[in-house]
Chains A and B, each alone.
Chain A
Amino acid sequence: AQRVTQPEKLLSVFKGAPVELKCNYSYSGSPELFWYVQYSRQRLQLLLRHISRESIKGFTADLNKGETSFHLKKPFAQEEDSAMYYCALSGRIAGTSYGKLTFGQGTILTVHP
């Protein structure tokens, strides 16, 4: 079974402060991890994936297999970062070549001016 846990439902920070959105996962195989974001009145969209190791909009996330974590970080939060963030894990469906994308519960980030 694959599971994604985001322990914080709500996270509030002030503009310019560092922000870290926590994500832990459970999966027996080699996971692919993603962060998706949903801004107000917009559709859910991919923010970044661990395999690309890139920084998007100042956000980075490092896969830590020892701690089974994939926390999302940004050193200086901006007001436009306020959104719902979902951590997601892609795991192979046993006996097939298909995968399943499982989402965490989501974290609502609010960045105050």
Chain B
Amino acid sequence: DTAVSQTPKYLVTQMGNDKSIKCEQNLGHDTMYWYKQDSKKFLKIMFSYNNKELIINETVPNRFSPKSPDKAHLNLHINSLELGDSAVYFCASSQEGTGNTEAFFGQGTRLTVV
């Protein structure tokens, strides 16, 4: 059973397009996150949600819009894609939002903007 699953695993798209990445967790966790891993493997938090409420919005361009329809899902929609958006995007979840509990990660979505 996959605990945190993301789709798609790979995404290649042209500049200017709009795309979405979906994330689902079946662990019953209250908190979900999106992280971006750039070409240098630097892993940086983008957003976190706790029970569908936005907790962290880490100076991400407003072309990025997270959506949490319920606490098991956190989708990431990106408008007007740019070359610099190319990265691996990781979804994660944790039992609660203090940051002191283990975070479980998805397998990542490799986004390539051409």
Note whether A and B form a binding pair: yes
Closest chain A residue, CB of each to CB of B31: A98
Among A13-21, A40-48, A62-70, A72-80, the one that faces the other chain is A40-48
Q: How large is the interface on A (under 10, 10 to 19, 20 to 34, 35 or more residues)?
A: 20 to 34
Tell whether, in the assembled complex, residue A46 and residue B102 are in contact, meaning their CB atoms are under 8 Å apart. Answer: yes
List chain A residues, Cβ under 8 A from B103: 36, 46, 101
A20 to chain B, nearest CB (A): 20
Inter-chain contact A98/B97, CB cutoff 8 Å:
yes
User: Are A105 and B41 touching (Cβ within 8 A)?
Assistant: yes
Contacts of A32 in B (CB 8 A): 99-100
Q: Which of B48-56, B66-74, B78-86 contacts A (4 or more CB under 8 A)?
A: B48-56
Residue of A nearest to B103 (CB): A101
* Minimum C-beta distance from A38 to chain B (A): 8
CA distance A91 to B98 in the complex (A): 8
With both chains docked as a complex, state the minimum distance between the C-beta of B91 and any C-beta of chain A, in angstroms. Answer: 10
The answer to the question of B90 belonging to the interface, with a C-beta cut-off of 8 Å to chain A, is yes
Please state if A98 and B40 are interface contacts (CB–CB under 8 Å): no
Docked CA distance A100–B57 (Å): 11
Which residues of chain B are near A51, meaning CB under 8 Å? 100
Chain B residues with CB under 8 Å of A98's CB are 48, 50, 55-56, 97-99
